[in-house]
Amino acid sequence: MPHHNHPDTPHTSIDPRYSSPGAGPTPWAAAERLLTGAELFWISTVRPDGRPHVTPLLALWQDGALHFTSGDRERKSLNLAENPEVALTTGTNAWAAGFDVVVEGRAARVTDSERLHALAKAWEEKYGPAWHFEVRADGAFQGQEGPSLVYAVPPRTVFGFGKGEEFTQTRWRFG
């Protein structure tokens, strides 16, 4: 059951300025497959003084949102308390091969026990027993490093960058 108000199929467009002549937009299903399978993401948040903060993390694409964890005293959580707007990126570091995705949206805490249990199970299925979480009564995960807050980022806008024989820049808008 979706936990957001986004349609299953976003408005899709291609930017011809950054795409090969005659290229069409990448289907949303291809971006969802990449978001589901990707192991490493980079998150960009904004510090209270306005400087950017970027760090790698693990994330899950589930129910139309990216989910990630952060300790309550980590820089990510401190930044999100001031400004919940984020960008999460994944893909390859190759210039002329692969597909990169940027998810823009607003991070919101997930505290519902049933939802947290489902996410904890999914985390361990995707990343293995080193990423086993217990669900705490206070609406957080308990991991090896202590309590972790869980965030969901339903996308507002997603950009996809196809690279290789055909270059594409696709934009998916939600809501």
1 pLDDT above the threshold of 80: no
pLDDT in tens, 56-106: 999 999 999 999 999 989 999 999 999 999 999 999 999 999 999 999 999
Which pLDDT belongs to residue 9? 83
Average pLDDT of the residues in 148-174: 97
Residue 26 class from Cβ within 10 Å (0-12 exposed, 13-18 middle, 19+ buried)? buried
Q: Longest C-alpha distance within the chain, in Å?
A: 55
Mean pLDDT over each residue of the chain, to the nearest integer: 93
Taking only Cα atoms into account, the Rg of the chain, rounded to an integer number of angstroms, comes to 17
5 pLDDT above the threshold of 50: no
Average pLDDT of the residues in 142-153: 90
Which pLDDT belongs to residue 96? 94
pTM over 0.85: yes
Lowest mean pLDDT among 6-15, 41-50, 108-117: 6-15
Under a CB-based contact definition with an 8 Å cutoff, are residues 115 and 169 in contact? no
Which pLDDT belongs to residue 153? 98
Average pLDDT of the residues in 122-131: 95
Which pLDDT belongs to residue 161? 97
pLDDT in tens, 16-70: 999 999 999 999 999 999 999 999 999 999 999 999 999 999 999 999 999 999 9
Which pLDDT belongs to residue 6? 46
Domains of the chain: 12-173 (2.30.110.10)
